[in-house]
Structure 1
Amino acid sequence: MENRLIELKKEILFCEKQKSKLDDLVKRNDELVGLIEAQRKRWEKEQRDVDKLENGSLTSFFLQIIGNLDKKIEKEEIEALKAKEIYESTKHEIESTKKQILAMKDQVDKLYDLNKEYNILWIQKEEKLLKSNTSTKEQYEKYIDKIASLKSIDKELKEAVDAGKILLKELYKAKEKFESAHSWGVFDMFGGGLMSSMIKHDHINEANDIINNVKSLIKKFERELKDVDIEIDVNITTFDKFGDIFFDNIFSDMMVQDKINNVLGQVKSGILCVENKVKDLEKAILNNKIEIDVLDEKRVSLVEMV
């Protein structure tokens, strides 16, 4: 006789597939119900247009005079027929969908009882396995330990990804500010005057504030990466204040512009580096999940076969 736990699992998987189909059917039914009223009104309108022409409206009178009445009636009848066909088709699909929903609902309603029975039997079988002194028990415990270890790594990987994304957000802010400072710096070099120089330095100051925050975020990201044995080297310096506002000449402007370009280059390199690390982390999370799923299936199989 087939193992009851395996039998239950098959029934549960079947019901879960039915539930997915049921959800799709309910969604489709809602869409159809939303369409059918408009389709009915369109059909009735098209039919009214035909009736008006056939019953001697003012429009039909003029069409009859110019000899186009029959053609117009034929055209309107075709449109009314198409509208009716669309309406009838939707109506039929709604009726069919409702029948399928009712049939599937009976199957899906079994899920709760099936899962309940499965869980009770699972606990009994697991207890029986853990009380035994077999190689199966040893293998089962190895799977549990390995899965726990991988889940711990998964948590650390996700924390590192979160830290990386927060860091990237600030790096992009700094990039935006230094790019604005660069644009104003170009304008300043070609005679923008005191106002452009002040705006440029406002952007530099705002970028420096962001960079100071970036530095602490880099340290946090480095700590998270260390937990998962990954290294990173991101070096970003703050922009040293330079008094070109007070020394308005092409040489001071060029020196400031060179410093802006230098820090902007560091920020861009930092963004590229962090983005690559985040991608590596996300790939590691995916691989980790696959390994956990495989081990978990093996663990479950051991209990099911008891």
Structure 2
Amino acid sequence: MHDQINEGLKKAQEGIYRLEKIKSMLKELEEEKQSLEQRMYPLETILKKEDLDVEKLERKSLTQIFHSVLGNLEKQLEKEKSEALAARLKYHQAVKDLENIKDEISKLSSEKMKYIDYPTKYDLLYAQKKDMLIKTDLDKGEKILDLTKKINDAENNLTEIEEAIRVGKDVISHLENISGSLESAENWGLWDMFGGGLLTDLAKHSHLDDAKDKVEKTQELLRKFKTELTDVKITEDINIHIDGFSKFADFFFDGLVSDWFMQSKIQNSHKSVLNVSRQVQDVIDRLYRLEEQEVLTIERLQQELEHLITP
């Protein structure tokens, strides 16, 4: 009987923890969705102003987009060209991000319903165990209940930290792949906006197209990483470092367009990748420290519980 109640309490507590996590994640995603929708409006305005066919551009590769936009805007000033090009790249990314966010909100909303009655289950089981313990020793029984709850809380938090570390390492791996694609493109030297040279090679080898595809996936992972860090037990010491994650793709495309018009090596776009990579690694390092602290906390609480049960 004791084992069944203990197992039920643990499962119910895990369900409550997941329920609260989902609520936090949904709140974060709704805010991100609203922010994206607000950012898309001025981008749409720029594209409409330059009379660019968004649907046709949607099906083009990165190098084709550069040619299409710049070819349609031959008479425009360089600043207007760069704004239109950056707007196109950012708009495409924002559309993908919005689709992913809506899909994630739908999945989490469905999952939330699985745990909606777990708080009630927990309260019923808690009352049963409390009655059983009080019959033997009131003071000790309450301490056992308190320690058991703290251990379960710490174990759940440890699981969340470990999951955040896993996602963070996945982000780092994708950022390294982007960096590799940019370095491959950069090896051919300076850009040539008007044909031949590097541009011809880029059309053949599509290193920047490859980087663009990886940026889209990395932006999705960065959002997932940021969402994993919504719980205050994790973000208390690191939330200041993650605010820029949702705009990584914007920074990357701004740098890419800047590199193009300056006809320089691929420096600004590469710099944005290295910068966010350092930020992610800093968060991961902090998570590792939190993981160590949580493990020590669990060990300490378990020792207290053992001493209480077997004095």
The TM-score, its normalising length taken from structure 1, stands at 0.49
Instruction: Name which structure has the greater RCO, CA cutoff 8 Å, separation 6+.
Output: 2
